[in-house]
Structure 1
Amino acid sequence: MEYTHLGRTGLTVSRLCLGTMNFGPHTEEADAHRLMDTAHERGINFFDTANVYGRDPEGNLKGRTEEIIGRWFAQGGGRRERTVLATKVYGEMDGWPNGGKLSAFAIRKSVDASLKRLQTDHIDLYQMHHIDRDTPWDEIWQAMEVLVAQGKITYVGSSNFAGWHLAQAQEAARSRHFLGLVSEQSLYNLLDRTVELEVIPALQHYGLGLLPWSPLRSGLLGGILRKEREGTRVRGATAYASELLDTHRDRLQTYEDFADELGLDPADLALAWLLSRPAVTAPIVGPRTAAHLDAAVAALDIRLDHKTLDRLDEIFPGHRPAPEDYAW
Structure 2
Amino acid sequence: MNKRSLGSSDLQVSEIGIGSNNFGRKCDIKQTQEILNAALELDINTIDTADIYGGGGVSEEYVGAATKNKRDKWIIMTKFGAPTIPGTDPHSSMEPSATKEYINFAIEASLKRLQTNYIDVYQVHFPHEEVPSEETMSALNELIVAGKVRYIGCSNYKVWHMVESQNIATSRGNAQFISSQPPYSLIDRRIEKEHLPACERYGIGIIPYSPLASGLLTGKYQKGKPAPKGSRFEESTTSGYATRFLNDRNFEVLSKLEKFAQEKNIKLSHLAIQWLLMQKQVSTVIAGVTSVEQLQDNIKAVDIKLSEEDLVTINELTK
TM-score by length of 2: 0.91
CA shift for structure 1 position 95: 8.2
Listed one character per residue, the Cα deviations across residues 89-134 of structure 1 (whole Å, up to 9, x for unaligned) are 1124348653311110000000000001111101110000111111
Letter in 1 for 2:73: R
**Residue 172 of structure 2 corresponds to residue 170 of structure 1:** no
Equivalent pair of 2:178/2:204 in contact (CA under 8 Å) = yes
Letter in 2 for 1:159: S
Residue 261 of structure 1 corresponds to which residue in structure 2? 263
Change over 3 Å in CA distance of 1:226–1:131 after alignment to 2: closer
Q: Which runs of 5+ in 1 are unaligned?
A: 56-61, 318-328
CA shift for structure 1 position 23: 0.4
CA shift for structure 1 position 69: 1.0
In structure 2, distance between residues paired with 1:52 and 1:180: 24
- Partner secondary structure for residue 24 of structure 1: coil
Letter in 1 for 2:72: E
Letter in 1 for 2:155: S
Identify which range, 151-160 or 295-304, moves more after superposition.
Answer: 295-304
Identify which range, 235-244 or 276-285, moves more after superposition.
Answer: 235-244
Residue 58 of structure 1 corresponds to which residue in structure 2? none
In structure 1, distance between residues paired with 2:244 and 2:176: 38
In structure 1, distance between residues paired with 2:151 and 2:92: 28
Residue 20 of structure 1 corresponds to which residue in structure 2? 20
TM-score by length of 1: 0.88
In structure 2, distance between residues paired with 1:36 and 1:96: 29
Matched residue count:
307
Identify which range, 213-222 or 304-313, moves more after superposition.
Answer: 304-313
In structure 1, distance between residues paired with 2:123 and 2:53: 14
In structure 2, distance between residues paired with 1:204 and 1:29: 38
Matches within 5 A, 1:122-141: 122-141=118-137
Select the residue among 69, 75, 80 that pairs with 1:89: 80
Residue 111 of structure 1 corresponds to which residue in structure 2? 107
In structure 2, distance between residues paired with 1:50 and 1:36: 16
In structure 2, distance between residues paired with 1:98 and 1:226: 42
Change over 3 Å in CA distance of 1:80–1:96 after alignment to 2: closer
Matches within 5 A, 1:107-256: 107-224=103-220, 234-237=230-233, 239=239, 240-241=241-242, 244-247=245-248, 248-256=250-258
Residue 57 of structure 2 corresponds to which residue in structure 1? 63
Equivalent pair of 2:78/2:119 in contact (CA under 8 Å) = yes
Change over 3 Å in CA distance of 1:136–1:97 after alignment to 2: farther
Listed one character per residue, the Cα deviations across residues 155-177 of structure 1 (whole Å, up to 9, x for unaligned) are 00000112111110100000110
Change over 3 Å in CA distance of 1:19–1:143 after alignment to 2: same
CA shift for structure 1 position 70: 1.5
In structure 2, distance between residues paired with 1:189 and 1:244: 11
Residue 80 of structure 1 corresponds to which residue in structure 2? 71
Equivalent pair of 1:5/1:11 in contact (CA under 8 Å) = yes
Listed one character per residue, the Cα deviations across residues 161-213 of structure 1 (whole Å, up to 9, x for unaligned) are 12111110100000110131000011000111111111101100000100000
Matches within 5 A, 1:285-300: 285-300=287-302
Q: Which runs of 5+ in 2 are unaligned?
A: none
Runs of 4+ in 1 over 6 A off after TM superposition: 226-229
**Residue 49 of structure 2 corresponds to residue 49 of structure 1:** yes
Identify which range, 64-73 or 166-175, moves more after superposition.
Answer: 64-73
Letter in 1 for 2:245: L
In structure 1, distance between residues paired with 2:92 and 2:291: 37
CA shift for structure 1 position 232: 6.8
Residue 30 of structure 2 corresponds to which residue in structure 1? 30
Identity of aligned residues (%): 33
In structure 2, distance between residues paired with 1:192 and 1:219: 13
Equivalent pair of 1:162/1:198 in contact (CA under 8 Å) = no
